[in-house]
Amino acid sequence: MDRNIKISIRNLYKIFGPTPDIALAHVRKGMGKAELLEKHNHVLGLQDINVDIHEGEITVIMGLSGSGKSTLIRHLNRLIEPTAGEVEVDGENVLAYDEDKLRKLRREQMSMVFQKFALLPHKTVLENAGMALLVRGYSVQDFEGEAKKWLARVGLEGNEYQYPHQLSGGMQQRVGIARALASNSPIMLMDEAFSALDPLIRSDMQDLLLELQDELQKTVVFITHDLDESLKLADHLVILKEGHIVQQGEPQEILMNPNDSYITDFISDINRARVLRVRSIMEKTKAAPEECAGDISERDNLESVIARSNGDTSLTYRVVRKGNQVGILKMEELVKALVPLDASEGDARSRY
């Protein structure tokens, strides 16, 4: 996977209030969110955010309500202006853009998928899907083929001339994704895009996003408050709390090695067998095991491997990627991985 940095966020702060620069000085001296609000009546939205978003990957920004995740994503296309810090896209400082360059960034480089779908009720599904191209000056006739292509790709072939109110919630969100894809923007910003959907539909939409991503390799920034969704989608996971980053990295690594009691508490109730992947616990080797119970994919979750083994802890599997061995997995190691760290173990491990 390409590791070029597409978006770079450096030392980003956002403080809401009448004199944010004065409040910023207090924050930089160590004042926290609660104290800033109590003593100076300012809200600390973001505190010293540093994230590299790599090209072709899904970066998930996760946190509870009020953690700053939606505030952060709106800095990338400057829907919100920072109090301090830098945002670069392809090495260019977005904060230095004039109105014309900023408009071009929003129209051509970044598309956005919203939680509430944001479809125009008086426009057909086809017109909604092609809205980004319509804004650029294309006619419906010009973009009809492109819009139909992406509507078919997200499973809405035959619905082109219906109106949003005639579609279910899941179908409406598919229109939103088709619209983002039809814009041909290399960056997709998705703000709680699936949060309003029923659980089964939500799972289908997650699968659709992963399927499209395998093919298109967009740079996706995905906002969610749901840990299971984060672990399913993320190549890189950023966890926020009260405006600052608690931990970031490969999601499986965070799950195996939480560096803070907040993270440990957050992941304590998840089904580790369902979210942990073979790649996270396998032994990386190209040497074939002496006794092999069969091949498994590095992407398989542990639950599926347990089912396949019928619980036999003596087995060893060969782990493959695109037909080639990348490691081995011993069932006894799998069982050990199902036991979560407690907070003290996580904090201790993070120091080494």
Give the model confidence (pLDDT) of 167-209 as tens digits. Answer: 998 899 899 999 989 888 999 999 988 887 888 888 888 998 9
Q: Of 100-104, 138-142, 202-206, 325-329, which gets the smallest average pLDDT?
A: 138-142
Check whether 52 has a pLDDT greater than 80. yes
Which pTM value belongs to this model? 0.84
pLDDT of residue 118: 81
Check whether 46 has a pLDDT greater than 90. yes
Reported as a pLDDT band with limits 50, 70 and 90, residue 342 is low
pLDDT of residue 347: 45
Distance of alpha carbon 117 from alpha carbon 172, whole angstroms: 6
Average pLDDT over residues 100-114: 91
- Tell me the HSE value of 234 on the side-chain side, using a 13 A CA sphere: 29
CB 6 within 8 A of CB 186: yes
pLDDT of residue 272: 85
Check whether 273 has a pLDDT greater than 50. yes
Distance of alpha carbon 117 from alpha carbon 191, whole angstroms: 10
Higher-scoring residue by pLDDT: 178, 137: 178
Query: Which residue in this structure is represented by tokens 């990957």?
Result: 57
Check whether 245 has a pLDDT greater than 50. yes
pLDDT of residue 341: 59
pLDDT of residue 271: 83
Reported as a pLDDT band with limits 50, 70 and 90, residue 344 is very low
pLDDT of residue 352: 32
Share the mean pLDDT of the chain.
Answer: 90
Give span(s): CATH 3.40.50.300, the chain.
55-83+99-249
Distance of alpha carbon 55 from alpha carbon 206, whole angstroms: 20
In CATH, the architecture of 276-337 is: Alpha-Beta Complex (3.90)
Q: Write the burial class of residue 154 (CB in 10 Å: 0-12 exposed, 13-18 middle, 19+ buried).
A: buried
DSSP 18: S
To which H or E segment does residue 9 belong? strand 5-16
Average pLDDT over residues 338-343: 66
Check whether 48 has a pLDDT greater than 80. yes
Q: What angle do CA 186, 49, 244 make, to 5 degrees?
A: 125
Average pLDDT over residues 152-174: 91
Check whether 289 has a pLDDT greater than 70. yes
Tokens of 21: 């620069």
Average pLDDT over residues 313-325: 94
pLDDT of residue 1: 39
Higher-scoring residue by pLDDT: 137, 94: 94
Give span(s): CATH 3.90.1280.20, the chain.
276-337
**For residue 10, how many other CB atoms are within 10 A of its CB?**
13
pLDDT of residue 348: 40
pLDDT of residue 196: 79
Strands 110-114, 187-191: pairing kind: parallel
In CATH, the architecture of 55-83+99-249 is: 3-Layer(aba) Sandwich (3.40)
**For residue 226, how many other CB atoms are within 10 A of its CB?**
16
Higher-scoring residue by pLDDT: 92, 252: 92
Check whether 115 has a pLDDT greater than 80. no
**pLDDT above 70 coverage of the chain, percent:** 96
Distance of alpha carbon 177 from alpha carbon 42, whole angstroms: 36
207-243, pLDDT tens digit by residue? Answer: 989 999 988 999 999 999 988 889 889 999 999 999 9
CB 238 within 8 A of CB 76: no
pLDDT of residue 140: 82
Check whether 69 has a pLDDT greater than 60. yes
Check whether 291 has a pLDDT greater than 70. yes
What residues have CB less than 8 Å from 243, skipping those under 6 apart? Answer: 14, 33, 44, 45, 46, 47, 67, 68, 71
